[in-house]
Amino acid sequence: MSFNVIAGARDIGRRVFGGYAQLLRIPHTARFAVGSVIACMPFPMVGMTMTIMTQQYYGNYSLAGALTAVQAISGAVFGPLLGTLVDRFGQRQVSIPTIVVWMIAAVSFVSCVSARVAPWILFCIVPFFAAVPPWGAMSRARWTYLMGNDRQGVNRALSLSGVFDEAMWVVGNPLASTLAVISGFLAMSFTGVCVIIGALMFLTEMTTCPPSQTDLAREAGLTRKEFREREAEKARLARAQSAAEDARVHAASQGLTAEQIDAAARDAYDRSMSGVKDSIWGPGLIAVCATWFGLGAFQSAAGISIIAFATEANMKQYTGFVFACFSISSLTGALLYGAKNWTIPLWKRFYVCLAVLNIGIGSFLFAKHLWVIMVIYLIIGVCQSPTWINGNQLMLHLVPQTRFTEGMAWMGAMNSIGGSAGSAIAGVFIDRAGSHGGFAVVTVLALVSLAIALLGFKQIKTSTETPVLTEISA
Do 360 and 307 contact (CB within 8 A), yes or no? Answer: no
- Distance from C-alpha of 311 to C-alpha of 435, rounded to nearest angstrom: 9
Q: CB 358: neighbour CB atoms within 10 A?
A: 26
Predicted pLDDT of residue 100: 92
Is 398 a member of any domain? yes
Q: Is residue 220 part of a domain?
A: no
CATH number at residue 359: 1.20.1250.20
Same domain, 370 and 448: yes
Give the pLDDT score at 465: 63
* Close Cβ partners of 79 (under 8 Å, ≥ 6 residues apart): 130, 134, 409, 410, 412, 413, 416
pLDDT value at residue 473: 37
Q: Please give the angle made by the CA atoms of 311, 312 and 318, to the nearest 5 degrees.
A: 35
**Shared domain check, 339 and 316:** yes
Pick the more confident residue, 353 or 424.
Answer: 353
Mean pLDDT of 330-356: 80
Print the domain residue range for 253: 228-273
Mean pLDDT for 15-44 is: 78
Report the domain count for the chain.
2
Q: Does residue 255 sit in the same domain as residue 158?
A: no
Residue at 266 is within a domain: yes
Asked whether residue 129 falls in the same domain as residue 74, the answer is: yes
Residue 222 falls within a domain, yes or no? no
In a domain, 292, yes or no: yes
Q: What's the average model confidence in pLDDT over 373-394?
A: 83
Cα(256)–Cα(253) distance, rounded to whole angstroms? 8
265 & 305 share domain: no
Shared domain for 188 and 337, answered yes or no, is yes
142/41 same-domain check? yes
3-state SS string for the chain: CHHHHHHHHHHHHHHHHHHHHHHHCCCCHHHHHHHHHHHCCHHHHHHHHHHHHHHHHHCCHHHHHHHHHHHHHHHHHHHHHHHHHHHHHCHHHHHHHHHHHHHHHHHHHHHHHHCCCCHHHHHHHHHHHHCCCCHHHHHHHHHHHHHCCCHHHHHHHHHHHHHHHHHHHHHHHHHHHHHHHHCHHHHHHHHHHHHHHHHHHHHCCCCCCCCCHHHHHHHHCCCHHHHHHHHHHHHHHHHHHHHHHHHHHHHHHCCCCHHHHHHHHHHHHHHHHCCCCCCCCCHHHHHHHHHHHHHHHHHHHHHHHHHHHHHHCCCHHHHHHHHHHHHHHHHHHHHHHHHCCCCCCHHHHHHHHHHHHHHHHHHHHHCCCHHHHHHHHHHHHHHHHHHHHHHHHHHHHHCCHHHHHHHHHHHHHHHHHHHHHHHHHHHHHHHHHHHHHHHHHHHHHHHHHHHHHHHCHHHHHHHCCCCCHHHCCC
Residues 462, 322 share a domain? yes
219 belongs to a structural domain? no
pLDDT of 104 above 70: yes
* Contact criterion met (CB below 8 Å) for 98 and 45: no
User: Do 439 and 305 lie in a common domain?
Assistant: yes
Task: Determine the pLDDT at residue 121.
Answer: 92
pLDDT of residue 279: 58
Asked whether residue 147 is domain-assigned, the answer is yes
Shared-domain flag, residues 311 and 413 = yes
Q: Is the pLDDT score of 174 beyond 70?
A: no
pLDDT tens column, 299-339: 778 887 888 888 887 877 677 778 778 878 887 887 777 66
The 10s digit of each residue's pLDDT in 145-154 is 887 767 677 7
pTM of the model: 0.62
Residues 6+ away with beta carbon under 8 Å from 373: 306, 309, 322, 364, 367
Using 50, 70 and 90 to split pLDDT, how confident is the model at 9? low
For residue 31, pLDDT beyond 80: yes
Higher model confidence: residue 304 or residue 440?
440
Could you tell me if residue 370 is inside a domain?
Answer: yes
Exposed/middle/buried for 93, CB within 10 Å: 0-12, 13-18, 19+? middle
Highest-confidence range of 2-6, 129-133, 431-435, by mean pLDDT?
Answer: 129-133
Rounded to the nearest integer, the mean pLDDT of the chain is 78
User: Within its chain, how far is the Cα of 393 from the centroid?
Assistant: 11
**Cα 441 to Cα 302: distance, rounded to the nearest angstrom:** 8
pLDDT tens for 251-308 read 777 777 878 788 887 887 777 676 544 456 767 777 788 888 888 887 778 887 888 8
Q: What percent of the chain has pLDDT over 90?
A: 3
- Does one domain contain both 73 and 194? yes
Residue 469: what pLDDT? 46
